[in-house]
Amino acid sequence: MVAAAQSGDLAAFNQLVSNHEQRVYNLAYRMLNDAEAAADATQDAFFQAYRALSQYRGGSFKSWLLRIASNICYDRLRSRNRRPTTSLDEMIEEAEKVGGADLGLLEDHQSDPVDFATRRELARELAQALQSLPDEQRIVVILSDVQGMSYDEIVYITGASLGTVKSRISRGRLKIREYLNKSKELLPGDLRQ
């Protein structure tokens, strides 16, 4: 399909977009913590990928595409940090809107309301913990633990060395654990320390 898209087949490229858009959006959303910014970054990533398709030389197309998306997100985060406009209240409100569904916690309408409320609060805390990480740690934790990518893919996407990727994942997980330990009552019994 990539070869067809490189040859100018727009339908093949549209199929590539369809196959990868959710993964790219999820990465952008978790990096930017803003649905509109994530949608814009996703669109920009596919636009850049289309323009650079002739430069793609093989390997994992998914990794190549996520590298483009992560670079766009880094650029937007740097720009946002120079001109911050999002309040903490807006970030918390956005985390509450996505609730458990965004973090892969499915609603169980059969469970009791207390369990549901606890899972939803845990999802909100987890989203906030993820947003509290420095950008370099957040991207590798997202790629590893949310997207399920291998270390090699993360190395390719981020351009960091394998040791750096492993270190950032480890530090990011530790910070998330420390953040969540502040709300131990929300954690399942086997995760409380």
Provide the CATH number for the domain around residue 46.
1.10.1740.10
Q: How many domains are there within the chain? A: 1
Q: What is the pTM of this model?
A: 0.60
The two three-digit tokens of residue 139, written as one number: 């991207």
- Convert the pLDDT of each residue in 133-181 to its tens digit: 998 999 899 889 888 889 999 999 889 999 999 999 999 999 988 888 8
- Convert the pLDDT of each residue in 111-132 to its tens digit: 567 777 767 777 788 888 888 8
The residue range of the domain holding 63 is 1-86
- Convert the pLDDT of each residue in 39-80 to its tens digit: 999 999 999 999 999 888 888 899 999 999 999 998 888 887
From the CB of residue 70, how many other CB atoms can be counted at a distance below 10 Å?
25
- C-alpha span between 58 and 48 (Å, rounded): 17
In whole numbers, what is the pLDDT of the chain averaged over residues?
81
